[in-house]
Amino acid sequence: MTINVLRSNKTWGSYKHLKLPQSEARPVLTAQLVRQLVCANLSTLHWVENNRSVESYHEDLVNDVYSSLNFEDVLLTTGKIIFTQTLLKGWLDQYFPIGMEYVGLDANKQCVMGIRETK
């Protein structure tokens, strides 16, 4: 589909819609995770190495460079909220998923971004 456009500087242009092939999403395993050592202390956030299973292949790993904290992560790490799952199951000393979105490099040094699974 093509649309002709007259721009403000009196030149003609066009917008074209090109259908791109759908890429198949595949799960990858990130090499690091963000954890907190002391509850309600943001300075204790740090990277820890992920527990990699035997089935994981080196080319499927992503070496994290950046992970963002959203509003829920900040509330969780400052101790303002707590997951109801942890209270119901008695997991108060367990790991909370922090930093769901990530950017990193794969085995080919290609930039990769994604969203972690948080169960």
Tell me the pLDDT of the chain (119 aa) as tens digits.
Answer: 678 888 889 899 888 888 888 877 777 777 677 888 877 788 888 888 777 665 556 667 888 888 888 888 888 888 787 766 555 555 555 566 688 888 988 888 899 888 877 65
CATH of domain 29-115: 3.90.180.10
The structure's pTM equals 0.58
User: What's the confidence (pLDDT) of residue 22?
Assistant: 83
The rounded distance, in Å, linking the Cα atoms of 41 and 1 is 54
| Torsion region of 102: left, alpha or beta (phi above 0 gives left; psi -120 to 50 gives alpha) | beta
Question: Is residue 65 helix, strand or coil?
Answer: strand
By CB atoms closer than 10 A (0-12, 13-18, 19+), residue 60 is middle
Q: What is the pLDDT of residue 12?
A: 92
Task: State the Cα–Cα distance between residues 96 and 80, nearest whole angstrom.
Answer: 14
pLDDT of residue 64: 86
Which pLDDT score is estimated for 11? 92
The alpha-carbon radius of gyration of the chain (Å, integer) is 21
Q: How far apart are CA 38 and CA 46, in angstroms?
A: 11
